A = this chain, B = another copy of it.
Amino acid sequence: MYRTHTCGELRAENIGTEVKLSGWVQKTRELGGMTFVDIRDRYGITQLVFDDSKNAQLAENAANLGREYVINIVGDVIERESKNKNIPTGEIEILVKQLIVLNESETPPFTIEDETDGGDELRMKYRYLDLRRSPLQKSLKLRHDMGIAIRNYLHKQGFYEIETPYLIKSTPEGARDFVVPSRMNENQFYALPQSPQTFKQLLMVAGYDKYFQIVKCFRDEDLRADRQPEFTQIDCEMAFVERDDILNVFEGLTKYLFKEVKGFEFEGDFQKMPYDTAMELYGSDKPDIRFDMKFVELTKTVANSGFVVFDSAEYVAGITAKGCSEYTRKQLDALTDFVKKPQIGAQGLVYCKYNEDGTLKSSVDKFFDADALKQWAEVMNAEPGDLMLILAGNKKKTQSALCELRLEMGKQLGLMNRNTFAPLWVVDFPLLEWNEDSKRFFAMHHPFTSPKPDDLHYFDSEPGRMKANAYDLVINGVEIGGGSIRIHDKDIQSKMFDTLGFSKEEANDQFGFLMNAFKYGAPPHGGVAFGFDRLVSLFAGFDSIRDTIAFPKNNSGRDVMIDSPSFIAKEQLDELNIQLKAKQ
Residues in A lying within 8 Å of B, measured CB to CB: 1-3, 22, 24, 40-43, 68-70, 102-106, 108, 126-129, 131-132, 137, 140-141, 143-144, 147-148, 151-152, 155, 160-170, 172, 176-185, 187-192, 198-199, 202-203, 205-209, 216, 218, 220, 222-223, 229-230, 232, 240-242, 245, 488-489, 512-513, 517-524, 549-551, 553, 556-559, 561-569, 572, 574-581
Across-interface contacts of A575 in B (CB, < 8 A): 176
* CB–CB B162/A144 < 8 A: yes
Which residues on the B side are within 8 Å of A184 (C-beta)?
Answer: 222-223, 556-557
- What would be 13 A-B contacts, judged by CB atoms less than 8 Å apart? A70-B522, A102-B524, A103-B523, A105-B519, A144-B162, A147-B151, A168-B562, A169-B565, A178-B180, A178-B190, A189-B568, A202-B551, A513-B562
- With A164-B551, A189-B566, A562-B169 already in contact, the answer to whether A41 and B209 are too (CB < 8 A) is yes
What's the least CB distance linking A558 to chain B, in Å?
A: 6
Please determine whether B165 and A155 come into contact, CB atoms closer than 8 angstroms. no
CA distance A162 to B145 in the complex (A): 10
Ranked 4 nearest A-B pairs via Cβ: A105-B521, A131-B206, A169-B564, A188-B565
A229 touches B520 (CB 8 A): no
Contacts of A176 in B (CB 8 A): 183, 575
From known contacts A151-B148, A521-B70, A565-B185, infer whether A166 and B207 are also in contact, taking CB-CB under 8 Å: no
* Cα distance A373–B553 in the bound complex, in angstroms: 70
A102 touches B165 (CB 8 A): no
Could you say which of A22, A163, A192, A230 has the most chain B C-beta atoms within 10 Å of its C-beta? A163
In the assembled complex, which residues on chain B have CB atoms less than 8 Å from the CB atom of A561? 202, 513
Instruction: Pick the most buried of A104, A550, A559: most chain B CB atoms within 10 A of its CB.
Output: A550
CB atoms of B166 and A140 under 8 A apart: no
Residues of B within 8 A of A518 (CB): 103
The answer, among B160, B202, B512, for a CB contact under 8 Å with A144, is B160
> What CA separation (Å) do A229 and B550 show in the bound complex?
26
Q: Which residues on the B side are within 8 Å of A152 (C-beta)?
A: 148, 152
Report yes or no: B1 in contact with A41, Cβ–Cβ below 8 A: no
Cβ-defined contact, B42 with A209, below 8 A: yes
- Name A185's contact: one of B104, B168, B557 (CB within 8 Å): B557
The distance in angstroms between the C-alpha atoms of A3 and B242, with both chains bound, is 11
With a cutoff of 8 Å between Cβ atoms, the chain B residues found around residue A172 in the complex are 569, 572
B104 touches A199 (CB 8 A): no
- Number of copies of this protein chain within its complex: 2
Residues on the B chain within 8 Å of A218, using CB: 166-167
Given contacts A137-B207, A520-B106, A522-B103, contact A189 B579 (CB under 8 A): no
Looking across the interface, which residue of chain B has its beta carbon closest to that of A205? B128
Provide the residues of chain B in CB contact with A104, threshold 8 Å: 521
Q: Which residue of B lies closest to A159 (CB)?
A: B144
Least distance between A516 CB and chain B CB atoms (Å): 8
Residues of B within 8 A of A207 (CB): 24, 40-42, 131-132, 137
- A188 x B148 contact (CB < 8 A): no
Pick from B103, B143, B550: contact of A521, CB under 8 Å = B103
Which residue in B42, B180, B199, B523 is a CB contact (below 8 Å) of A180? B180
20 additional A-B pairs beyond A132-B206, A198-B562, beta carbons within 8 Å, are A1-B245, A2-B240, A40-B207, A41-B209, A102-B523, A102-B524, A127-B206, A129-B206, A140-B208, A141-B160, A143-B162, A162-B550, A166-B216, A166-B230, A167-B230, A167-B553, A170-B568, A179-B180, A185-B557, A577-B580
Asked if residues A2 and B513 are in contact (CB atoms below 8 Å), the reply is no
CA gap between A108 and B176 in the complex, in Å: 35
* Cβ–Cβ < 8 Å partners of A216 in chain B: 163, 166
Task: Please tell me which one of the listed residues B42, B68, B489, B558 contacts residue A103 in the complex, with CB atoms under 8 A apart.
Answer: B489
Complex CA gap A68/B206 in Å reads: 11
Residue of B nearest to A101 (CB): B521
Q: Contacts of A179 on B, CB cut-off 8 Å?
A: 180-181, 568, 572, 576
Chain B nearest Cβ from A493, distance in angstroms? 12
- Which residue of chain B has its CB nearest to the CB of A72? B240
Q: Is the CB of A182 within 8 A of B557?
A: yes
Give the complex CA separation of A41 and B158 in angstroms: 13
* Chain B residues with CB below 8 A from A550, complex form: 162-164, 199, 203
